[in-house]
Chain A
């Protein structure tokens, strides 16, 4: 939005000495720059408030416990203790936790994309019995909160023998109704002519999917992938229920463990928190556009 132009007031239309006009224009300009300064101040204050917890975390991760407890508190690490990061990584097992999170998330993202793509293709391009019913079923999965399923899912996973394993961590999330819905929307926008041309060229379904549909839907698939990554990475409840010790623990649960074992060394806990934030921060910096698309799908018209 551009700032409003210099107000044209009636006085200018009459005879006015040049100084008066100049003075009036400067006053308007000053008012404008005051307003702009005010806006920057407001923005900065708000940005500070939003960023403060993360800032404090990073700072505290580089201080010693004594410095953290000192009053007034240290706001900038003049003598940073980098050892906390090594400590969090090794003794705090954060390296293992990160690895487990990556593997679990990788499995989930891969299978969600796979099952959603296949299902969306069927819904968009094929005819089969109960198609409408099955689509409703896919959407119905969005209505069941995950917490409602944990009791039996826990038993199922134990019975299948995959309690406390990567498969156990990932299995309830291998398919997504939201993903199928999203991709179906995207697949439906594939132009008729392309389909006909492919048919003429003798493309089978698989080739059509791989060579035409997927490349065209890449943005949406990327959005889905980023969204799936974000939600799996941040999973808390299921990994808590399905792991029993450090072997398969993910980063989110690892933070809880780290905090409980380091009550007297919070700098190490904070270092762990920073380590936990970094992968997501990188992902988001690189894939901001896809993330926004994934998050706002369904929200904004047009």
Chain B
């Protein structure tokens, strides 16, 4: 009798297990999953603002800190004071990463802002999330004139004819160096390195002369370097028209130029001509701080740091530093520097009145005068060309030409598919793959070619996984 019971028990378990697997398989096809709706049909409800009771209160999530945060607060207060239709409350989410994470979490919890500042690389993700009103819809409804904006900036944020966010703060990498250290090393302070080889040579001289205590160049393990390098060479970073003609399915950075920059980084670190620091965590600004402390005399980092650096230097704490800012060194080609920074997205989960209010505030942030104030207060590049002719910006550039470098980089070169920048859904994973490749060269001595190949393999796998998850 026990045996019979055992057998019927086993049969029962087997049935349950089979049912658990078979039933969902069988019913899956039948449940008719909805197709992904197109973007073109999105509407911008401008009328709702006029009808709503004033003031319409909206929340704006941003990640601007220190000097940049103060400037943003000042500009927002001015906006709130200047009119009574819209009241903006600022919420500082600290880092771009935190903002995006909280935003995605908000998509399930409902805890969302009305306007959100999201970093450049998350463009495809924001499109895929189907949670934003494309700026293009508001541009159309409001008959807004985009022609005053910097072309490359518009190119970056426009996919398939639709401008998704309103561009706001733009930065790109520039070359920072200590002129005084250059003099000490016998280098011309007004002729900073323009190619990788020149950086190597300068590093050598700086180390030999004792002008630096550790190494000539401070190298941040940043995937940006690879992206910008290839853009300067005029090469698209991913396939399918840099991800703009159709969804990107593979990276294309395993080219001669890609190998060149990886080899250069590896050689610099190996020979001790460069010191390395990570791009996250407490040590992420060591390359810049190193210039102040004399551990290194050159680095490549975002132009957005310039405001903070200038303030630090002005305090007199670093008498041995005279800061020089120059365009990012790189290969010559039919290309140019990529747009970096962040842009403002309007959430489509808010009330129509709030959506319209968000558009109104975003427009304000891109008016000539505000852009001029913004650039002067932060060092971000104005996205509106007229702002560069205002007295504020002209005075800023005259006083400190370093601020002009980032802007010049954006308007020189060619505007093509390479300089429009890559659009990748799995951007963060691709960047992680590049960082892993760089780190494997620096900490484990992996050869540049193998590191680049491994990075490509990882990046491609990540892209494919993202694409299948999105159903495209």
Residues of A that sit less than 8 Å from B by CB: 132-133, 136, 263
Shortest A15–chain B CB gap in Å is 77
Render B54-67 as a binary contact track against A, CB cut-off 8 A, 1 for contact: 00000000000000
Contact indicator A263/B5 (Cβ below 8 Å): no
Question: Inside 8 A of B5's CB, which chain A residues have their CB?
Answer: 132-133
B443 CB within 8 Å of chain A = no
Contact indicator B282/A263 (Cβ below 8 Å): yes
B9 CB within 8 Å of chain A = yes
**CA–CA, A105 and B247, complex, Å:** 50
Question: Inside 8 A of A133's CB, which chain B residues have their CB?
Answer: 5, 9
Shortest B93–chain A CB gap in Å is 15
Shortest A129–chain B CB gap in Å is 10
**In the complex, residue of chain B having the shortest beta-carbon distance to the beta carbon of A263:** B282
Residue among A132, A133, A136, A263 with the highest chain B CB neighbour number at 10 A: A133
Query: Could you list 6 A-B pairs, sorted by A, with CB under 8 Å?
Result: A132-B2, A132-B5, A133-B5, A133-B9, A136-B9, A263-B282
**In the complex, residue of chain A having the shortest beta-carbon distance to the beta carbon of B282:** A263
- Number of interchain pairs (Cβ within 8 Å): 6
Shortest A35–chain B CB gap in Å is 48
Shortest B355–chain A CB gap in Å is 28
Shortest A95–chain B CB gap in Å is 27
The 6 closest A-B pairs by CB, nearest first: A133-B9, A132-B5, A133-B5, A263-B282, A136-B9, A132-B2
Residues of B that sit less than 8 Å from A by CB: 2, 5, 9, 282
Shortest A300–chain B CB gap in Å is 30
Question: Inside 8 A of A136's CB, which chain B residues have their CB?
Answer: 9
Question: Inside 8 A of B2's CB, which chain A residues have their CB?
Answer: 132
Shortest A123–chain B CB gap in Å is 16
**CA–CA, A207 and B388, complex, Å:** 89
**CA–CA, A241 and B9, complex, Å:** 35
**CA–CA, A263 and B283, complex, Å:** 13
**CA–CA, A263 and B282, complex, Å:** 10
**CA–CA, A132 and B282, complex, Å:** 59
**CA–CA, A133 and B2, complex, Å:** 11
**In the complex, residue of chain A having the shortest beta-carbon distance to the beta carbon of B9:** A133
Question: Inside 8 A of B9's CB, which chain A residues have their CB?
Answer: 133, 136
**CA–CA, A136 and B9, complex, Å:** 10
**In the complex, residue of chain B having the shortest beta-carbon distance to the beta carbon of A158:** B108
Shortest A264–chain B CB gap in Å is 10
**CA–CA, A298 and B2, complex, Å:** 26
**CA–CA, A136 and B5, complex, Å:** 13
Shortest A230–chain B CB gap in Å is 33
**CA–CA, A132 and B2, complex, Å:** 9
Shortest B8–chain A CB gap in Å is 9
**CA–CA, A193 and B9, complex, Å:** 35
Shortest A242–chain B CB gap in Å is 14
**In the complex, residue of chain B having the shortest beta-carbon distance to the beta carbon of A140:** B13
**CA–CA, A112 and B2, complex, Å:** 30
Question: Inside 8 A of A132's CB, which chain B residues have their CB?
Answer: 2, 5
**CA–CA, A194 and B227, complex, Å:** 81
Shortest A174–chain B CB gap in Å is 23
**CA–CA, A237 and B179, complex, Å:** 52
**CA–CA, A101 and B424, complex, Å:** 43
**CA–CA, A264 and B187, complex, Å:** 40
**CA–CA, A300 and B373, complex, Å:** 77
**CA–CA, A133 and B9, complex, Å:** 7
Shortest B98–chain A CB gap in Å is 13
Shortest B10–chain A CB gap in Å is 10
**In the complex, residue of chain A having the shortest beta-carbon distance to the beta carbon of B108:** A158
**In the complex, residue of chain A having the shortest beta-carbon distance to the beta carbon of B10:** A133
Shortest A208–chain B CB gap in Å is 28
Shortest A260–chain B CB gap in Å is 12
**In the complex, residue of chain A having the shortest beta-carbon distance to the beta carbon of B105:** A244
Shortest B284–chain A CB gap in Å is 14
**CA–CA, A263 and B281, complex, Å:** 12
**CA–CA, A218 and B104, complex, Å:** 51
Shortest B110–chain A CB gap in Å is 13
Shortest B108–chain A CB gap in Å is 9
**CA–CA, A263 and B5, complex, Å:** 61
Shortest A263–chain B CB gap in Å is 7
Residue among B2, B5, B282 with the highest chain A CB neighbour number at 10 A: B5
Question: Inside 8 A of A263's CB, which chain B residues have their CB?
Answer: 282
**CA–CA, A136 and B12, complex, Å:** 13
Shortest B209–chain A CB gap in Å is 32
Shortest B288–chain A CB gap in Å is 20
Question: Inside 8 A of B282's CB, which chain A residues have their CB?
Answer: 263
Shortest B216–chain A CB gap in Å is 30
**CA–CA, A136 and B2, complex, Å:** 14
Shortest B339–chain A CB gap in Å is 33
**CA–CA, A205 and B5, complex, Å:** 28
**CA–CA, A136 and B13, complex, Å:** 12
Shortest A132–chain B CB gap in Å is 7
Shortest B410–chain A CB gap in Å is 37
**CA–CA, A49 and B2, complex, Å:** 55
Shortest B342–chain A CB gap in Å is 25
Shortest A141–chain B CB gap in Å is 14
**CA–CA, A132 and B5, complex, Å:** 9
Shortest A164–chain B CB gap in Å is 11
**CA–CA, A136 and B6, complex, Å:** 11
**In the complex, residue of chain B having the shortest beta-carbon distance to the beta carbon of A129:** B5
**CA–CA, A133 and B5, complex, Å:** 8
**CA–CA, A132 and B313, complex, Å:** 79
Shortest B2–chain A CB gap in Å is 8
**CA–CA, A98 and B380, complex, Å:** 47
**In the complex, residue of chain A having the shortest beta-carbon distance to the beta carbon of B12:** A133
**CA–CA, A132 and B9, complex, Å:** 10
**In the complex, residue of chain B having the shortest beta-carbon distance to the beta carbon of A132:** B5
**CA–CA, A10 and B282, complex, Å:** 76
**In the complex, residue of chain A having the shortest beta-carbon distance to the beta carbon of B109:** A244
Shortest A157–chain B CB gap in Å is 14
**CA–CA, A132 and B1, complex, Å:** 12
Shortest B331–chain A CB gap in Å is 40
**In the complex, residue of chain A having the shortest beta-carbon distance to the beta carbon of B2:** A132
